[in-house]
Amino acid sequence: MAEILSMKNICKSYIMGAEELEVLHNVSLSVEPGEFLSILGPSGSGKSTMMNIIGCLDVPTSGTYHLSGNDINQLNEIELAKVRNKEIGFVFQSFHLLPRMTALQNVELPLIYSGLPHSRRQKLSEDILVRVGLGDKMGNLPNQLSGGQQQRVAIARALVTEPTILLADEPTGALDQKTGAQVMELFEEINRDGKTIIMITHDTGIAQRARRVVNILDGYLTEADSSNW
C-alpha cells in the first residue's frame, strides 16, 4: 500500500538570539492510508513542532517530507495553503469555532473557499453534522453547545472538505474524561470508515485508543512498545 505521508531525517531548528535551538532531530515517519496514528509526548517534547510540519504550517530546516505525492519542501506559501486546504482537516484542542456563526455555518466555512454553490455547501454540511450526531443542533451558536458538542462541530468542519488526513492536536484536552472518551469513540468510528487520522497528545490513555503509537521525547521519535501498556 502506498504511503500518503513520508518524512525522512526531518530536522527543525529555531534561532534564539545568538544560539540555534534544534527542536526535531532526524525524525522519520511514514503513514499509510487508513491508519490511526497517535504521536505521544509530554510538554516540550517537540510534538507541537511535529504537528506544524505535518500540517504544512511550518517547514523543516532539513530532511524530506512528501504528502500525497507533494514534495512539501519545494512548495511556496500559496501552494502550501492549497495543500493544507485539500489534504488536511485540522481539529484543535480549543475548537476555534466562530462565536457568531451557527454550527452549520461554522462547518460550511471551509467550503466557501472551494467555490461550491450555497445549496451544495449546505447539504454537505448538514450531512456531516448528522454524521457526528448533531443533526438537531445545526442552528445553535457555539455558546449554546457543550464542550463535547463544540468539538464535534470542529470535527465535522475538518471532515467536510474530505481531506486525506484528519490531524488532531490534543482533541480531548479541553474536555472532561467522559466527554473525551465519547470524542475518541467518534474518532474510532471515523477511522473504521477509512479516514486516516494523526493525533497529537500528551495523554497515554488517549494515545492508546489509536491503532499505532509513536513516542516523541526531546525531539526524537520512536515507535511505542505496546507490550508495556
pLDDT for 93 equals 87
Name the percent of the chain lying above pLDDT 70.
97
Which cell numbers in the block locate residue 46? 517537540
Q: The domain spanning residue 117 has which CATH number? A: 3.40.50.300
pLDDT digits (tens, 9 = 90+) for 130-168: 999 999 999 999 999 999 999 999 999 999 999 999 999
Summarize pLDDT for 161-208 with one digit per residue, the tens: 999 999 999 999 889 999 999 999 999 999 999 999 999 999 999 999
Q: Which domain holds residue 54?
A: 5-228
How many domains does one find in the chain?
A: 1
The secondary structure of the chain as a DSSP string is ---SEEEEEEEEEEEETTEEEEEEEEEEEEE-TT-EEEEE--TTSSHHHHHHHHTTSS--SEEEEEETTEEGGG--HHHHHHHHHHHEEEE-TT----TTS-HHHHHHHHHHTTT--HHHHHHHHHHHHHHTT-TT-TT--GGGS-HHHHHHHHHHHHHTT--SEEEEESTTTTS-HHHHHHHHHHHHHHHHTT-EEEEEES-HHHHTTSSEEEEEETTEEEE--GGG-
At 29, list the grid cell: 515517519
- What is the average pLDDT across 115-133? 93
